[in-house]
Structure 1
């Protein structure tokens, strides 16, 4: 037996995946009645959970729109009417973003934070008219709120940007958006996390650092070595190295209690609104040093340039993340972009770098949760982070690239064993001044974390097979269309010889009809939300139209190809010790109308 399978928790994921396949033909033959009860229970729980997720997704989407509307109202309240049209327009002056670096930005990627330099001027001009007799009390209060909203941040924000063979123009665009933030020069730090295995990484990092000279409080470039013993190659190990070295350098000049680390992807478009809402949340928190702050993810940068199946997959992925953030107890998993204090990162020993930490975002929450005896919680920041869909040349090539990305995502199934293993350990009193929460002592939060991790990884590996194949296959085996295929005679059919099981069989078939309905509701909410974000936050002229509803025709194929199949393979591969190469997804970036550049590389172990 392999050493990595000595723990019972390691067997959960591969066992569940193999059983979900084996039970399809064997269940109706060997134990049809028990199998029927199993299907009823699974479908009922699945339907209930999906309705619950739909409600949480709706609430998250509504809070996002409310946050964006509040931001726009504050902008409008302090902007002269002559400037309002410019603030709402799509084609902004790119010179306001990065000065001489605007050749690395494209207008169709323009986000709302481009407008803030104009807003600053309008604040001064508006506040100078406060004494006007025509100014109402409500107007004065609103202006005071706006001026307070623009006070200097309390925290220093260090953005960790791990990358490997990314297009340089894409990195400049991502960093340029951060440079456009109002307090970037005084409160923002860039930690550009390079990989030493990338040819010419030092020169590339130096060019980017020089391009943004003077636009941030500090710009740190790190190079992650490729030969550190015990490490698994990927985003997590790069982030861990960059965080340790970056924090060590920052601690020499900045109070560590004031530093907030934000881990982001190289294609993440982070608006200033995210930083403002994050500051507001931290300032209101009783204990900001046990919080992970997580925004929703949103795919709108190149969504019309990829196949519909890829577009639909990322839509459902985005909706699942937003639903997950709706957990009222703060037990939710960040995805792609998230923030936490340097104090918390140091307390838990930064990011793990082994093979079990390949799902770095979810794993970091789990590590913080268990290392703090359940004190760490996730707080949603209702500002969507705009990401890029996987994109390559050619339709089939693009489908394959998204499949490769899905396989990498579902390798995070390693967190199932990590969670179960840590949940079974006895809680130890915290060495700090913080005490263990009562809810954690009685094990409820532990159980909730385990259920959420199992749902995140075991539902994909089981639902695809059971939802699509269980009822049709059982129908064929026990109720064949021709007597020639009958394995049992109607007089001995275990379903037909019992009124209870005959009725249960009809209920199960009816349940399968209703299983997709929560998904339809989720997609309806998403369609409205997508248009709202494009229009109100990103200021995009082009958004989704009614014709894009035909995208969902590809949903069954996308669900099986990008969810069921890769999740099943990821679970089965847990049976072997060999570690696979880490494939970096290919994403294009158009540099001012020039030919698109992209990359797809492998971090070979």
Structure 2
């Protein structure tokens, strides 16, 4: 039996979702003047944000190219040891559940070849006890890499801890606590430990670690930073359907544009790094079901718990990931849809953000859908004063969280349907009776509303152009990364034929963005929690 949530902030997401849909036909009929103004404001804000994203993406792309080019041509970045101030220890957490052992071995192997892996790297292999034969897998990997790292730590996250939900966040939190505690017991100074979260398919280059150390050494407040790299899909991109490929290209572009934030308010995705001191100060990662988007959630938690002191810092070195891949075309589309639903469950951060911004208690939901008091990880006292103008930063955080979650929820419906439906209702074609009385029809009795409506139609025409610009920059960036960073040939990277992929954009937008984001938003009404499902990735050793 479904039960309604008793948190009023949880109704924000479903309200926006439902309202954006029902107003498409009812807005022109019941509130035509107000609807024209609301829709015009929405599209103007949407266009402004997309132009801003285009500019920020261009900046990120240039910085990525600059970082890679400097690494290829200068000795400064190749010999980072000569400028080290802090001798950092990198604890790399690899959370996994039912992932192929060959995939994890490949991911760790690419870290093991780093020059300082044996002296400054620690692998924390975060296993789940609920996975069948997890011990055999971890033992095999530990034996394989026993001589490659400073330490190789295996943690086994229990499946029955009170108040916890299965997922990446709870696994990471357990692994980071246990793994770092072991490092400290071995005499490693807390100030030296940097925690890097890596997906089981993340290719972390040596340049990423070098850039973290470079930025860390040059920053005035390095311990209170979330170090965020761009994500990039080039490992198996030609093995998946074009609509899956396009979805991940757009997803990657959105993450990249978010990195060039002058305010330091932005969010990592998949792979990122925080200092042990920051993770410990804020109480590590939250472990309830509403922290499913653990990368964004942890960043929000760091900013709010430190009252604005923590910030995101971009690391312009791409992390190469795998697209979701299964055997069979339809199965591959379904697997990507399932992954999209899981990603958009991060809409739970809307409630978390509003509560945190208003200094209200944040709660966690346990596996039995019981509303609990603030968990121990949420009760960290922070007596420092808020940073200057923290209230302005709160407004910016709310805007960015709303942009991340509500543009996918609303844009598909409003961009494709709102203006045509309003055109049909307020200016019906010949042969159709008017739906709205002439004296109540704003575009027939008011020159002002007619002009606004005409401007609105023009805006809807130009809305896709920022996306076209982004994709054009992306194509150049993809080829550059493939050839200059991943050492691929021209034949192995994307070419002009791949521009045909973008014909699948409307399908990708609806199937992998609008529909799953709507489902995730509507579910916030009820105390329902999905079973955590890992996206399937077919991996053949040596293929890439």
TM-score range normalised by the length of the shorter chain: over 0.9
- 1:577 maps onto 2:519 in alignment: no
CA distance in 1, matches of 2:48, 2:210: 36
1:475 aligns to 2:436 (yes or no):
no
Shift of 1:393: 1.1
Residue by residue over 1:410-435, the C-alpha shift from the partner in whole angstroms, topping out at 9 and shown as x without a partner, is: 000000000000101189xx967854
Q: What is the aligned partner in structure 1 of residue 387 from structure 2?
A: 437
Equivalence map 1:191-210=2 (5 Å): 191-210=124-143
Q: 1:407 aligns with which of 301, 316, 341?
A: 341
Equivalent in the alignment of 1:40: 40
Summarize deviations over 1:351-380 as a string: whole Å, max 9, x none: 000122110000000111111111110000
The answer to whether residue 325 in structure 2 is matched with residue 375 in structure 1 is no
Equivalent residues of 1:161, 1:191 under 8 A apart: yes
Secondary structure at 2:353 match in 1:
helix
Aligned length: 522
Deviations 1:243-302 (A, max 9, x none): 111111111121111000000100000000000000001111111110110000000000
1:221 aligned partner: 154
Residue 486 of structure 2 corresponds to residue 538 of structure 1: yes
**Mind listing any 5+ residue stretches in structure 2 that lack a counterpart?**
362-379
TM-score where L is the length of structure 2: 0.93
- Residue 560 to residue 485, structure 1, CA distance change in 2 (3 Å): farther
Distance 1:431 1:28 in 2: 50
The 5 A counterparts of 1:271-286 are: 271-286=205-220
CA RMSD of aligned residues (A): 1.9
Deviation, structure 1 residue 439: 2.2
Distance 1:255 1:52 in 2: 42
Instruction: Please name the residue that 1:343 is paired with.
Output: 277
Residues in 1 aligned to 2:10 and 2:393: alpha-carbon distance in whole angstroms = 21
| Aligned match of 1:257 | 191
The answer on 1:317 being equivalent to 2:251 is yes
The CA deviation at 1:505 is: 1.1
Query: Which structure 2 residues correspond to residues 513-532 of structure 1 after superposition, within 5 A?
Result: 513-532=461-480
Contact 1:4-1:10 at 8 Å conserved across structures: no
3-state SS in 2 of match to 1:251: helix
- Any conservation in 2 of the 1:24–1:466 contact (CA below 8 Å)? yes
Q: Look up the match of 1:559.
A: 509
Instruction: Write the deviation string for residues 511-564 of structure 1: whole angstroms up to 9, x where unpaired.
Output: 100000100000011010000000100011210000000100000110111111
Cα displacement string for residues 486-524 of structure 1 (whole angstroms, at most 9, x for unaligned residues) = 323556533212111111111111110000010000001
The answer for the alignment partner of 1:12 in structure 2 is 12
Q: Distance in 2 between matches of 1:415 and 1:240?
A: 18
Cα distance in 2 for partners of 1:592, 1:302 equals 12
C-alpha distance after superposition, 1:373-401 (max 9, x if no partner): 11110000000000000011111111111
Structure 1 residues 584 and 353, CA, compared in 2 at 3 Å: closer, same or farther?
same
Alpha-carbon distance change, 431 to 237 in structure 1, aligned in 2, over 3 angstroms:
closer
Q: Residues 350 and 26 from structure 1, CA distance in 2 versus in 1: closer, same or farther, beyond 3 angstroms?
A: same
Give the conservation status (yes or no) of the 8 Å contact 1:369–1:377.
yes
Q: Is the 8 Å Cα contact of residues 296 and 384 (structure 1) preserved in structure 2?
A: yes
